[in-house]
Chains A and B, each alone.
Chain A
Amino acid sequence: MEILVCVKKVPDPAENEIVVRRDGSDIDRDDLVYSVNEWDNYAVEEAIQLVEEHGGSVTVVSVGDEESDEIIRRELAMGADAGKLLDDEAFHYSDGRGVAAILAHAARQAKYDLILTGAQAEDAAAQVGGMLAAMLDVPYASLVVRVRVLDQGKLEIAREIDGGNLEINQIDLPCALSIQTGINEPRYVGIRGIRKTASVQVPVLGAAELGLVPATVGRAGAKVRKLDYFVPELGQGAEILQGSREEIADQLIARLKGRGVIQ
């Protein structure tokens, strides 16, 4: 199975204290460190496991800048077979549709049976997966938490629906899936793993190589623009229950009963 996984470099909230710039134009990026988007890591792990079991290869692709090379190498260190970086001045400030269009052009360069994206990116709007599937005219399922390969070019997939329940679907290949966290346990990649990929070439493809009209993507093609970032105002403070351990427990039970949470 030939699998394409779309990954993105994001400022990881676990490793950054996110501060919004005073003018609201962006977050403060002076002291940010970047990681691979958490959902994408699960998608790559899933792709690697599928290939380990059923054969084929995993290609990782990212719309980004020079620094995205590192996150592609991280995925190569996990076990992906090849990586492509989609980087062009014309791609900057793309909206979701623009990013999906760039990825769609990359996806058409080879014949992929399965295209995976993360369900969402930590810094974006969970829209690229669906748009990408539509542009490629392949079936799509979102929030996938289990993938099983059936015969005759079909997959059985489980989607997470309300309350942690699962919805089981059959889907025809080729298709696109957006992967939810928890589908697997992504393997660890350290400095050593990344250094081992130093000799691997990660080609950088621009608009020309992808056969894309620059004006359809990037700032020029964007139909959605960010206007403002703001931090919500603090609400009323939480109430701290006082007293001994038993008194606190009694108060808590009384309140929960009072609101009908427990009988």
Chain B
Amino acid sequence: MAYVYLLITCAGICLFAYILHKRLSPLLRAAPDPRLDRIGERIGKVVQIWLGQWRQPRYLLAGVIHIFIFAGFIILGLRSLQLILMGFWQGASLPGLEGSTGAIYNLIKDYAATWVFVACIVAAVRRGVFRPARYQVPPSLGKDHLGEALLVLGLICALVVSESLFEASLQNAAARSGAAAFAPPLTLLWAGRLILGGLGLPALQAVNSLSYFVHEMVFFSFLCFLPLGKHFHVLTSLFNVFFMRLDRGKVKPVRHGVAEDQLDDLPEFGVSKLEDFTWKHILDFYTCADCGRCSDRCPANRVKRPLSPRFLTIKARDRVYANYPLWGKAVGAEQELVGGIYSEDEVWSCTTCGACEQECPLGIEYIDKIVDLRRGLVDQGRVPQSLQKPLGALEKRGNPWGKSQRNRADWAKELAEEFAVTIAGPKQPVETLYFVGSVSSYDERMQRIAQATARVLRYAGVEFGVLGKAESDGGHEVRRFGEESLFLALRDANTEAILNSGASRIVTADPHDYNALKNDYRGIPPVMHLSQVLSQELERGGLALEQGPYAGKTVVYHDPCYLGRHNGLYDEPRHVIDAIPGIRRVEMEGNCRDRSFCCGGGGLALFYEPEEEQRIGVVRVGMAKEAGAQVIVTACPFCLANIEDALKIAGLDQELEVLDLMELVEQHLPVARRAAA
């Protein structure tokens, strides 16, 4: 028999190795993506997100079930290895599994096998009977994966049951010959021994051989089945989490290893064909467990825009499988992705809010892929008409409305009677530079944010200047909409102007500019968002806010994506609001902080006209109403624009009001301080 099992093992391993080799080949043809830096941090991610299953409980029931099964896999992996070796190596034992440690391990693995069994039953009932909506597949995209899910749960059950029967038959046989054999109570092993209680030695021998055979066959079938579908994550997740992106708020370079000044030599930008993705992005496709958490949190998906992050991945994975078949040659090298598996609207529908990436328990990336797909479209000239005008204006005028640069600081005229806003430059250097941003410079409504910011800075005692006509659009959305060359031009113009201002720090009230200056620019002074500046001033005692017109009102804070998720600034704006006496602050529970729901997107997203059932902002203001708020406070001009529109569309503008954090603070500045100044 030993030879038979040696043969089965070898055949299983060879088939598995062959499949993996086939799966690896597209990764080798894909774009470069260096991910071997910051090993310590990467190990930290593995410990937290992979081993610690950190993100699983965000969906409580499914998460807890998964944690049990995952822990069982880790524990029972060793046992399976031991069992396989036993097939052709009498008395096989693994180092550390002898003596008392072995006894402790056996105790743990018997309970692990039992909880895995129970967890699989619960999972099967949940998937098969209750059928959570998250797993459903729209008819246009194929069938749902209930069958595959139940098959895998069945295979796992078969593994733990066969292992337990194998052990139970051994123990019962040993007990018959008077040897000691301990079955931990209420385990599968314990149950197995009860069931096999009446059998004689020959029958036990048969059960033992059969259960061994079943375990062996199921094990190798399962192993070779994994790389064929969504359960590939069992094998790839460790690597995917290890290689996951470490920095939020940043966008990958056009092509790793190509310097900016050599970009013009690249024949093409971005992703238009499968192999234009980086190897990590293809590993992402393999790793997706199709759990649907990304799409469940995706604002675009919620309002039925033609985008679902889940299917962005699954469609690409299926394309990889089809183009790199297990048997036969690779095909389809010329296939365009957009126009093939993706539609243009799908690619433009993303607001880059990052909710999907925040949620993914496997560290799958989306924003970089969307940006790369957009880069590919931009390079081919496939840009929606609604975006061409603002892009053209950005190129010529440095703002998406095509307004004259000369009018960039016009918002400050309103303040002329109170104080003059310094226009910084080589002749008038400043220490603190207020980067106003395009929307707050030109949009009539958002100019009030710039005015409020200037007043707040002034009365908090911060001497500051602005760039005036030397300021260009920060380029944050220009980059994220795939127009890298234009972004670089805007960035270079701003960098020069910022350095000319002599500033030693930059402050801004626009999270998009904050993120651009912090994460996309290089060689400029450090940048702070106004909420950080104010939070610090309050902490330091440099500023105290007074009771004012919002006393007694219930306020809810809306986390802008580029302040919160992308930069981790959740507490500072809340701290500032809480420093205003008399305001009651509530939360949109389940939809705040890192689960904040996007307002609809900033920058160029304001110009894009997507197909959608309703506005994203309308969903958001519904959440604020649900939370019982009278006032929505946000800290981003684009959030303000979207929410203000949404309140009107939803007919909530009589009962709910929205304002920017700066406008709120402005109205609670100490009266004495303003009078004195």
Give the residue of B383, B392, B485 whose beta carbon is less than 8 angstroms from that of A192. B485
Is A15 a contact of B264 with CB atoms below 8 Å?
no
Whether A78 contacts B389 in the complex (CB less than 8 A), given A12-B402, A15-B397, A35-B396, comes out as no
Is A188 a contact of B406 with CB atoms below 8 Å?
no
- B279 at the A interface (CB under 8 A): no
Residues of B within 8 A of A15 (CB): 392-393, 396-397, 402
Query: Considering only CB atoms, which chain A residue lies closest to B489 in the complex?
Result: A191
- B404 at the A interface (CB under 8 A): yes
Query: Considering only CB atoms, which chain B residue lies closest to A34 in the complex?
Result: B396
Is A17 a contact of B403 with CB atoms below 8 Å?
yes
- B170 at the A interface (CB under 8 A): no
Query: Considering only CB atoms, which chain A residue lies closest to B405 in the complex?
Result: A31
Which residues from chain B sit less than 8 Å from chain A, CB to CB? 263-264, 269, 378-383, 385, 387-389, 391-393, 395-397, 402-404, 406, 483-486, 489, 651
- A161 at the B interface (CB under 8 A): no
Residues of A within 8 A of B403 (CB): 17
Least Cβ–Cβ distance between B392 and chain A, in angstroms: 7
Is A35 a contact of B381 with CB atoms below 8 Å?
no
Is A192 a contact of B389 with CB atoms below 8 Å?
no
Counting from the closest, the 4 A-B pairs by CB-CB distance are: A187-B381, A15-B402, A188-B383, A192-B485
Is A188 a contact of B382 with CB atoms below 8 Å?
yes
Residues of B within 8 A of A14 (CB): 389, 392-393, 402
- Cα of A191 to Cα of B378 in the assembled complex, Å: 11
- Cα of A33 to Cα of B403 in the assembled complex, Å: 10
Within 8 A of B (CB), among A146-205: 185-193, 195-196
Question: What mask results when residues 12 to 23 of chain A are scored 1 for a CB within 8 Å of chain B, else 0?
Answer: 101111000000
Query: Considering only CB atoms, which chain B residue lies closest to A189 in the complex?
Result: B381
Is A190 a contact of B486 with CB atoms below 8 Å?
yes
Q: List 23 A-B contacts (CB under 8 A).
A: A12-B392, A14-B389, A14-B392, A14-B393, A15-B392, A15-B393, A15-B396, A15-B397, A31-B406, A33-B397, A78-B381, A185-B385, A186-B385, A187-B381, A188-B381, A188-B388, A190-B485, A191-B486, A192-B379, A192-B485, A195-B264, A195-B485, A245-B651
Least Cβ–Cβ distance between A87 and chain B, in angstroms: 22
- Cα of A131 to Cα of B558 in the assembled complex, Å: 60
- Cα of A190 to Cα of B483 in the assembled complex, Å: 8
Within 8 A of B (CB), among A33-58: 33, 35
Residues of A within 8 A of B489 (CB): 191
Query: Considering only CB atoms, which chain A residue lies closest to B385 in the complex?
Result: A185
- Cα of A195 to Cα of B403 in the assembled complex, Å: 25
Starting from the known contacts A31-B404, A195-B485, 13 additional A-B residue pairs (CB-CB under 8 Å) come to A12-B392, A12-B396, A14-B393, A15-B392, A17-B404, A35-B392, A185-B385, A186-B388, A187-B381, A188-B381, A189-B381, A192-B263, A192-B485
- Cα of A83 to Cα of B45 in the assembled complex, Å: 56
Give the residue of B378, B393, B406 whose beta carbon is less than 8 angstroms from that of A190. B378
Is B391 a contact of A188 with CB atoms below 8 Å?
yes
Residues of A within 8 A of B393 (CB): 14-15
Query: Considering only CB atoms, which chain B residue lies closest to A33 in the complex?
Result: B396
- Cα of A35 to Cα of B380 in the assembled complex, Å: 20
Residues of B within 8 A of A187 (CB): 380-383
Question: What mask results when residues 104 to 147 of chain A are scored 1 for a CB within 8 Å of chain B, else 0?
Answer: 00000000000000000000000000000000000000000000
Query: Considering only CB atoms, which chain B residue lies closest to A35 in the complex?
Result: B392
Residues of B within 8 A of A31 (CB): 404, 406
- Cα of A186 to Cα of B382 in the assembled complex, Å: 9
Least Cβ–Cβ distance between B513 and chain A, in angstroms: 21
- Cα of A31 to Cα of B397 in the assembled complex, Å: 10
Least Cβ–Cβ distance between A76 and chain B, in angstroms: 13
Query: Considering only CB atoms, which chain A residue lies closest to B396 in the complex?
Result: A33
Residues of A within 8 A of B264 (CB): 192, 195-196
Least Cβ–Cβ distance between A199 and chain B, in angstroms: 11
Least Cβ–Cβ distance between B409 and chain A, in angstroms: 15
Residues of A within 8 A of B406 (CB): 31
Least Cβ–Cβ distance between A203 and chain B, in angstroms: 24
Whether A190 contacts B389 in the complex (CB less than 8 A), given A14-B402, A15-B402, comes out as no
Query: Considering only CB atoms, which chain A residue lies closest to B482 in the complex?
Result: A190
Within 8 A of B (CB), among A187-237: 187-193, 195-196
Residues of B within 8 A of A78 (CB): 381
- Cα of A17 to Cα of B402 in the assembled complex, Å: 8
- Cα of A12 to Cα of B397 in the assembled complex, Å: 11
Least Cβ–Cβ distance between A88 and chain B, in angstroms: 27
- Cα of A84 to Cα of B195 in the assembled complex, Å: 92
Query: Considering only CB atoms, which chain B residue lies closest to A187 in the complex?
Result: B381
Is B402 a contact of A193 with CB atoms below 8 Å?
no
Give the residue of B381, B388, B397 whose beta carbon is less than 8 angstroms from that of A193. B381
- Cα of A48 to Cα of B486 in the assembled complex, Å: 25
Least Cβ–Cβ distance between A67 and chain B, in angstroms: 12
Query: Considering only CB atoms, which chain B residue lies closest to A196 in the complex?
Result: B264
- Cα of A193 to Cα of B395 in the assembled complex, Å: 13
Residue among A17, A188, A190, A195 with the most chain B CB within 10 A?
Answer: A190
Is A188 a contact of B651 with CB atoms below 8 Å?
no
- Cα of A185 to Cα of B386 in the assembled complex, Å: 11
